[in-house]
Amino acid sequence: MNEPGARVEEGFVLRGHATRFAGKFDRLWGGRRLVDRVVDSVAAAGLSATIVSTDPLPGSTVPVLHDPFDRGPLGGVRAILHSRGTGPFFVVGADMPMVRPDAIRRLIAVAAPGISVVPKWSDGTLEVLHAIYDPPVDAVVRYWEAQRSLRDLVRDLEMRGQARSVPAEEFDPSTFTDVDTADDLERVRSGRMR
In a domain, 86, yes or no: yes
DSSP the chain: --TTS----EEEEEE---SSSTTGGG-EETTEEHHHHHHHHHHHTT-EEEEEESS--TT-SS-EEE-SS-SHHHHHHHHHHHHH-SS-EEEEETT-TT--HHHHHHHHHT-BTTBEEEEE-TTS-B-TTEEEE---HHHHHHHHHTT--HHHHHHHHHHTTSEEEEEGGGS-GGGG----SHHHHHHHHHT---
Instruction: State pLDDT tens for residues 85-102.
Output: 778 999 999 888 889 999
State which residues form the domain around 39. 10-185
Instruction: State pLDDT tens for residues 36-85.
Output: 889 999 999 999 999 998 887 777 889 999 988 877 888 888 899 888 87
Based on the structure, what is the number of domains in the chain?
A: 1
In a domain, 1, yes or no: no
In a domain, 15, yes or no: yes
**Global pTM value:** 0.88
